[in-house]
């Protein structure tokens, strides 16, 4: 669907997020399908793809069915799970990819890089035979030094070691050679480094079947924003201003195909131990569109149409997610302050707390049903939207 106006509201196609953690089964104290799907709907999302670092891991059809059963029972939007690349995400044996293939968005060991090149090649060959994509969290463990924050001057001021950019781009470089050799469709999760952007740009020119995503926090923040607070800790970490500028250039020139939130909720206790001790991950489903609309679209960096391509059309096309008549309704002139206490997600950790944004979600409709409806939505407008 195209952008439509209905009174003071703007009707947009439902967004699709190909990288979220809804934590169930296994970690429902952090998030559930019930709470996460409602948070997604409040953010304008009608489809999300859930990452497989769960308990049980979705590495067999029986394990996957545990998650699918909860989705059918509790979700208000469309949820498509990932299957693991390797059993238990341990990197040593392929999962039961054949049995899971009809039911998953793609295969990923998100949260861990596949360390062995031979194992990744086997996975790519298997995925290609099944018509599925390999989606990679790229992190070379041999290049980690036990720290968690980017190796920049601001990180060092906080007294932390760092996850170097090379740990990301080196594994991307390896995987692109394997993707070229096998012909497998390959997608890179949450890129954060300028080298990653350039490597993927050159791979696309070379005809390799590669796509990639970044997240709102990498586009709007760099390590100069760091505070000694767990809500600034994520993986990959915030990097240098030059990395952020390269990512912005990448979305403008088409190197970066998708914006995904990497919504990663944790408990308050897990995020209250500062930069060093807190769990890695922040929430993003309820803030992604307002932040990017306010700080990229309204400031002329990209158009609204480009933002919709990044958050709706491109993820659906790349992941083979069917186009539907799902839609979301925003009041784009509504200005408010990001307040985590109002989130529907169980997770409250966001580095954007206190930021002023425009764009309040008033209604989200999935499969003809209201998945989210703001209490202030005018009923006559609501009726007009449904009638049209």
Active site residues: 262
Smallest CA-to-CA distance from 359 within 283, 308, 316, 314 is with 308
Question: How far is 357 from 123, CA to CA, in rounded Å?
Answer: 42
Question: How far is 136 from 60, CA to CA, in rounded Å?
Answer: 19
Question: How far is 293 from 49, CA to CA, in rounded Å?
Answer: 22
Beta bridge partner(s), residue 192: none
* Helix or strand run (H / E) with residue 46: strand 45-50
CA neighbours within 13 Å on the CB side: how many for 217?
Answer: 28
Burial zone of 353 (CB within 10 Å; 0-12 exposed, 13-18 middle, 19+ buried): middle
Instruction: Concatenate the DSSP letters of all residues of 82-108 into one string.
Output: PBPSBGGG-SSSB--HHHHGGG-S-B-
């Amino acid at each position: 669907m195209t952008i439509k106006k209905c009174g003071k509201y703007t009707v947009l196609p439902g967004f699709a997020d190909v990288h979220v953690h809804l934590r169930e089964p296994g970690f429902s104290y952090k998030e559930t399908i019930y709470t996460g799907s409602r948070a997604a709907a409040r953010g304008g999302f009608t489809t999300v793809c859930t990452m497989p670092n769960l308990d049980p891991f979705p590495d067999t059809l029986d394990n996957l069915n545990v998650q699918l059963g909860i989705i059918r029972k509790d979700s208000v939007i469309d949820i498509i799970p990932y299957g693991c690349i390797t059993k238990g995400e341990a990197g040593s044996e392929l999962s039961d990819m054949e049995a899971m293939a009809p039911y998953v968005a793609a295969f990923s060991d998100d949260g861990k890089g596949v360390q062995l090149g031979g194992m990744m090649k086997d996975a790519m060959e298997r995925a290609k035979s099944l018509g599925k994509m390999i989606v990679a969290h790229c992190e070379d463990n041999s290049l980690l030094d036990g720290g968690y924050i980017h190796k920049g001057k601001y990180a060092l001021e906080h007294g932390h070691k760092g996850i170097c950019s090379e740990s990301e781009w080196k594994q991307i470089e390896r995987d692109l050679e394997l993707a070229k050799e096998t012909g497998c469709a390959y997608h890179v999760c949450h890129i954060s480094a300028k080298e990653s952007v350039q490597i993927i740009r050159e791979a696309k020119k070379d005809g390799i079947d590669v796509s990639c995503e970044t997240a709102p926090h990498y586009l709007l923040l760099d390590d100069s924003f760091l505070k000694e607070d767990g809500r600034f800790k994520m993986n990959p970490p915030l990097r240098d201003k030059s990395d952020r500028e390269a990512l912005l250039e990448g979305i403008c020139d088409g190197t970066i195909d998708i914006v995904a939130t990497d919504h990663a909720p944790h408990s308050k206790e897990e995020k209250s131990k500062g930069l060093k001790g807190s769990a890695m991950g922040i929430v993003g489903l309820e803030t992604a569109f307002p932040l990017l609309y306010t700080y990229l679209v309204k400031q002329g960096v990209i158009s609204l149409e480009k933002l919709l391509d990044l958050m709706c059309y491109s993820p659906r096309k790349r992941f083979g997610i069917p186009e539907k008549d799902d839609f979301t309704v925003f009041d784009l002139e509504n200005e408010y302050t990001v307040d985590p206490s109002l989130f529907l997600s169980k997770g409250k950790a966001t580095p954007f707390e206190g930021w002023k944004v425009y764009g309040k979600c008033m209604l989200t409709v999935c499969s003809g049903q209201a998945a989210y409806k703001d209490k202030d939505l005018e009923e006559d407008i609501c009726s007009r939207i449904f009638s049209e």
